[in-house]
Amino acid sequence: MKYRNFGKLDWQVSALGFGCMRLPTINNEMAMVNEPEAIKMIRYAIDHGVNYVDTAYMYHMGNSEKVVGKALKDGYRAKIKLATKLPAMMINSPSQFDKIFEEQLKRLQTKKIDFYLMHGLNKESWERMRDMKALQWAEGRMKKGQIGYLGFSFHDEYKVFKKIVDSYDNWTFCQVQYNYVDVKNQAGRKGVEYAANKGLAVVVMEPIRGGLLAKTPPKAVAKVWGKASQIRSYAEWALQWVWNQPEISVVLSGMTTMEQVVENVGAAGRSGQNTLSKPELSLIKKVTEAYKSLSPVPCTACRYCQPCPNGVDIPGIFRTYNEAKMYEAPELGYFNYTSPLMGLKPENRADNCVECGKCVEVCPQKIAIPEWLKKAHEQLTPKGGVSSGKPGSKKSRPARKA
């Protein structure tokens, strides 16, 4: 195992961290974790040098923390640093802070959370957490010795990321979605550099894009990979690209099988900063371009179309639609469009478009936006349709079958 600096802390973190969002399950039921196998996997990783385990209150419908707590018995807790998260999107009152935290300590069978995160911050949830004084509450738990260090995980635009980083002087680390396709998405490369320059440890999630970059790619992408001089799995190419960057502290992988754990632990042992050659980096860039060439809507997210007078998140819809197409993953599109927690709000979805044409007038790419919105909604909506944000209006038309 290779180890790296964790921001300004006098502590070295393993290059690979164990992300506990995708533990093995029984009958594909998210809440039904295969505990014996999951515990075996986590302990294998720790036995082979992994010293950072990441979970969250909501993972596996609350059962991830319970399984992690069991896996860390028999002396394993002392071998690692434990990270879990306050579910910002679920909290409506400061009174929930203590209740949730105490529940987490019980689930994890521990007296202290080494690294505690505000989970999934975006502009809205950050402002709610700030106004409810979540950070002051967490500092109180730190004084009691129940929290080691504070950080946050993030899903929004770079400007929001920068604002959150700058709004609090005592962040120790941040967790961002980052991979060779998402260089400009969310916090992106700019966010990684900004956080690292401020002394924060950078924890990377989704380095393999939830497994999408590990599966057999579309033909156009496979053709580019076929020119590689170095033989690696698709997953290892993605991981090594992130590890190559000195600003990164630890890369989380949500592993589902023992085979994945063994492969990723081995890859971490071959990792290093600035170790990929120029031809290898050029190849990965061409792979990224090949993926992006599969995006049907030529939206550059310039946001000239925003705000839409009817609340439609045009760039967000096109990004979701394009990703579903480029990765050949319709289930990803359904989730990112309709999930109650992570998807678009009903009032921001495409069926709120009234075809006023104002977005077309300002679009530098001259995209036929209303037509593409119709197509996106049809293909991103599961059978049965999604209710519109404004029932009873012209916008409340049911989705047609994809």
Please give the pLDDT value at position 306: 93
- What one-character DSSP code corresponds to residue 107? H
Contact (Cβ atoms closer than 8 angstroms) between residue 389 and residue 346: yes
What is residue 384's predicted lDDT score, i.e. its pLDDT? Answer: 41
Spatial neighbors of 390 by CB under 8 A, at least 6 apart, are: 347, 352, 396
Q: Say whether 156 sits in a helix, a strand or coil.
A: coil
Residues 318-367 pLDDT 10s: 999 998 998 988 988 998 899 876 788 999 999 999 999 999 999 988 99
Question: Cβ of 52: how many Cβ atoms within 10 Å?
Answer: 26
What does the alpha-carbon distance between residue 179 and residue 13 come to, in Å, rounded to a whole number?
20
Nearest to 346 by CA among 337, 354, 333: 337
Q: Which two tokens stand for residue 71?
A: 């896996």
Mean pLDDT of the chain: 92
The b/e string for 280-299 (b: 16+ C-beta within 10 A; e otherwise) is beebbeebbebbeebbebeb
pLDDT of residue 383: 64
Beta bridge partners of 201: 173
Q: What is the pLDDT of residue 300?
A: 82
Give a three-class secondary structure readout of 287-332. Answer: HHHHHHCCCCCCCCCCCCCCCCCCCCCHHHHHHHHHHHHHCCCHHH
Residues in the chain: 402
- 336 neighbors 343 (Cβ within 8 angstroms): yes
Q: Which residues, in sequence order, are bridge partners of residue 116?
A: 84, 150
**Residues in a beta bridge with 3:** 14
Cα dihedral sign, 352-353-359-364? positive
Name all contacts of 37-41 with Cβ < 8 Å and 24+ positions apart: 37/258, 38/67, 38/71, 39/67, 39/70, 39/71, 40/258, 41/255, 41/257, 41/258, 41/261
* Structure confidence at residue 254 (pLDDT): 94
Q: What is the pTM of this model?
A: 0.86
Buried b / exposed e across 36-48, counting CB within 10 Å, b at 16+?
ebbbebbbbbbeb
Query: Which residue ranges in the chain fall short of pLDDT 70?
Result: 341, 383-402
pLDDT on residue 392: 32
Residue 290 pLDDT: 95
Q: For residues 310 and 290, what is the distance between their CA atoms, to the nearest angstrom?
A: 34
- Provide the pLDDT for residue 304: 87
Q: Spell out a b/e string for 53-75, using b for 16 or more CB atoms within 10 Å of the CB, else e.
A: bbbbbbbbeebbbbbbbbbbeee
DSSP 70-90: HHTTTTTGGGSEEEEEE-GGG
Domains of the chain by start residue, with CATH: 3-285 (3.20.20.100), 295-402 (no CATH)
Residue 113 backbone phi and psi in degrees, to 5: -100, 120
> Cβ distance 297 to 367 under 8 Å?
yes
Predicted pLDDT of residue 394: 37
pLDDT at 398: 30
